[in-house]
Amino acid sequence: MEYSFSKLESIWQEVGLDRQSVSDHYSVLQQNVYVLMDDMIREEVARRQKITNNIETHISSVCRIAEELGQSPTAEVCDCTYDSKLH
């Protein structure tokens, strides 16, 4: 990122932007980066939730199948949610 910032600053200087304009451009750039990061965070939170939901579904299936087979599933696996193990 430092390279990109440096390159942008160099271009802004080459085209003759004054200090205030460079500052304004940096502000816009910063806002765009924050928006992008917020979007990525939302996507990753949703991805994590989907993975957690899938794991919980599979744990539930394993416990159900174990019971159908007459096996005693362990409470450690079947009585908790995966999400609680993440913390």
Confidence grade of residue 69 (pLDDT, cut at 50, 70, 90): confident
Least confident of 4-8, 21-25, 81-85: 81-85
Q: What is the pLDDT of residues 12-24, one digit of tens each?
A: 999 999 999 999 9
Give pLDDT, residue 84: 52
> Distance between CA atoms of 66 and 69, rounded to whole angstroms?
5
Residue 38 to residues 4, 16, 43, Cα–Cα distance (Å): 20, 32, 9
Classify residue 80 by its DSSP letter: S
pTM strictly above 0.85: no
Q: What is the pLDDT of residues 24-52, one digit of tens each?
A: 999 999 999 999 999 999 999 999 999 99
CB of 82 closer than 8 Å to CB of 52: yes
CB of 73 closer than 8 Å to CB of 62: yes
> Distance between CA atoms of 4 and 74, rounded to whole angstroms?
54
The owner of tokens 């949610």 is 81
